[in-house]
Amino acid sequence: MNTALTTAAAGMEAQQAWLDALSNDIANVSTTGYKSLRVGFRDLLYQSPGRGGAEGTLTGSGAAAEVFGQNFEQGALEATGRPLDVALTSAGFIEVAAPGGGVALTRDGNLQIGPDGQLRTATGQALQPPVRIPKGVDPEEISIAPDGTVAAGKRTLGKIPLVEVTNPSGLQANGENGYLPTAASGPVKAAPNARLQQGVLEASNVDMANVMTAMTEAQQGYELAGKAVTTQDEVLAVANGLIR
């Protein structure tokens, strides 16, 4: 079998993985608190090419690329004036109850008051531990302190749980603008240094100019690897052409 063909095809696959991640970033350019994906590239095994190469010669087997975490750079703050909008201005997350049990972490601070009076995220997940807003409290009088303390006038109603993990790169995205802790991320613990700002939301940290540049590079890489695949096909045609 011609290994050059699989080597070239591996290159196409790697660029495709990058394109997929970039498309995901573009789709989330307006998602509150979204963190862009990091794509790691690596070359593959180097081995002896067999006939045609002397002993000690090595040829590589192409490339691979995969998403290995997020870029947790702070997103821009956008003022909304809505009292229940909060943005983290530091590292850390808001802890919410995950739909399937357990906890999830999010940086989307677009909070709502649920039918049961609990503060919930835009996707309906309650804060964990919950914060209940009593009936009759006007959302306009709610104030949220930088440490997460929720108060109505002079009355303290609860505290938005601010947490962190040792290794955010190990978190697993849960598809609901949040992350699930894993063994790689380490356990969820309180984040005493995390800070919130009321009346603002954290925009997605996807930078369109960067993404577009990356997209062009990925596309060019894909074309080059594609050209290599076509050429390897022609190489095989030439070899087959020996017998007429």
Partner 1 sequence: MDSGLYIAASGMLAEMVRQEQISDQLANVNTPGFKSDRATQAGFGELLLQNTQTGAAVGRLSLGVEIAETSTDLAPAGIHETGEALDFAVEGEGFFAVRTEAGVRYTRNGQFSTDAEGNLTDQLGDPVLGANGAPVRLRADGTVAPGDIGVFAVAGAEKQGENLYTGNATGAATGKVRAGFLEESAVNPSQAMVQLISSFRALEADQKSIQTIGETLQQSAGQVGSIAG
Output the smallest distance, CB 218 to partner 1, in A: 7
Output the smallest distance, CB 28 to partner 1, in A: 17
d(CA 209, CA 184): 32
Six token digits for residue 82 = 């809505």
d(CA 3, CA 60): 10
CA 25, distance to chain mean position in Å, is 8
Task: Examine residue 129 and say whether the peptide bond preceding it is cis (omega within 30 degrees of 0).
Answer: yes
How big is the site for partner 1, counted in residues (CB under 8 A)?
68
Q: Which residues contact 78 (CB under 8 A, 6 or more apart)?
A: 200, 201, 202, 203
Six token digits for residue 90 = 């530091």
Output the smallest distance, CB 141 to partner 1, in A: 35
Is residue 119 within 8 A of residue 160, CB to CB? The reply is yes
52 belongs to the binding site for partner 1 (CB under 8 A):
yes
Residues β-bridged to residue 43: 63
63 belongs to the binding site for partner 1 (CB under 8 A):
yes
**Helix (H, G, I), strand (E, B), or coil: what is residue 229?**
helix
d(CA 104, CA 173): 9
Single out the residue of 60, 124, 139, 153 in contact with partner 1 (rule: CB under 8 A).
60
Single out the residue of 27, 79, 212, 239 in contact with partner 1 (rule: CB under 8 A).
239
41 belongs to the binding site for partner 1 (CB under 8 A):
yes
Q: What is the contact mask toward partner 1 in residues 161 to 190, using x (rule: CB under 8 A)?
A: -----xxxxx------------xxxx----
Query: CB-wise, 41 or 208, nearer to partner 1?
Result: 41
Single out the residue of 16, 31, 59, 174 in contact with partner 1 (rule: CB under 8 A).
59
228 belongs to the binding site for partner 1 (CB under 8 A):
yes
Query: CB-wise, 91 or 126, nearer to partner 1?
Result: 91
Compute φ and ψ for 52, nearest 5 degrees: 100, -15
**Helix (H, G, I), strand (E, B), or coil: what is residue 189?**
strand
Compute φ and ψ for 134, nearest 5 degrees: -65, 155
Provide the residue type at 194 as one letter: A
Output the smallest distance, CB 138 to partner 1, in A: 38
Query: In the chain, what is the greatest distance between 2 CA atoms, to the nearest angstrom?
Result: 93
Q: What is the contact mask toward partner 1 in residues 189 to 208, using x (rule: CB under 8 A)?
A: ------------------x-
18 belongs to the binding site for partner 1 (CB under 8 A):
yes
By the criterion CB under 8 A, which residues form the site for partner 1? 2-5, 7-8, 10-12, 14-15, 18, 38, 40-46, 49, 51-54, 56-63, 65, 68-69, 71-73, 91, 166-170, 183-186, 207, 210, 217-218, 220-221, 224-225, 227-228, 231-232, 234-235, 238-239, 241-242, 244
